[in-house]
Amino acid sequence: MPRNSGEWTVAYNKEAKANFDIVETYEAGIALEGPEVKALRNKQTVSFKDSFVRIQEGEAFLYNLYIAPYRYATIKPPDPLKTRKLLLHKREILRLTGKVKEKGYTIIPLRVYFKNGKVKIEIALARGKKSHDRREELRQRDLERQLRRELKEGKIKL
C-alpha cells in the first residue's frame, strides 16, 4: 500500500483521556515546515506535554507541541516548540470560540496523523476532570476488572 494513501497515526496524547472529559473532536490541518514533516514521517519524537490550542483574532494556534528536529535537515531546523497555525473552517473556529468562553472548556490536541499524505491533528473540546472524578473512574475500572476476573474463574454465574 502506498504511503500517501489511507491514515496512520504518528503520535497519540495518552494523558488527554485521563485528565479531561472529551466533549467534541475536530480534524484540523497544521502548517508545518519541510523538516518537521520529514521528522513526522520518520516517526521521530512528538510530545504533547502541556500543549493546547488558543484562538486569536479568528485563527487557531497550537502551542507547546514538541516535534523532534529532523537530523538530516540541510538548513537550520525550526524550533521544536514553536507555535503552529491550525487550519480549520471558519464556522468550526467560531463554534470553538463560543464554547471556550464558557467556563471550564479548553481545546487540547489528541493525536497527530497522516491522512492521504497530509499531516492532520485531531483536537478536542474538553473539560478538565477534578481529582475526585479521576479517583471514581479508577475505582469503577478496578471493580469492572475484578468482576471480569471472577466471571472468568467461574465464581459468579449469570
Annotated domain spans of the chain: 7-128
Residue reference for cell 497530509: 118
**What ranges make up the beta strands (E) of 57-155?**
59-63, 66-67, 84-87, 105-115, 118-128
Identity of the residue numbered 135: R
pLDDT of residue 117: 85
Torsion of CA 59, 43, 127, 15, to 10 degrees: -150
Mean pLDDT, rounded, for 41-66: 87
Yes or no: domain 7-128 corresponds to CATH 2.40.280.10: yes
Q: Is the distance from CB of 35 to CB of 135 less than 8 angstroms?
A: no
Q: What is the pTM of this model?
A: 0.75
Residue 56 has pLDDT above 80, yes or no: yes
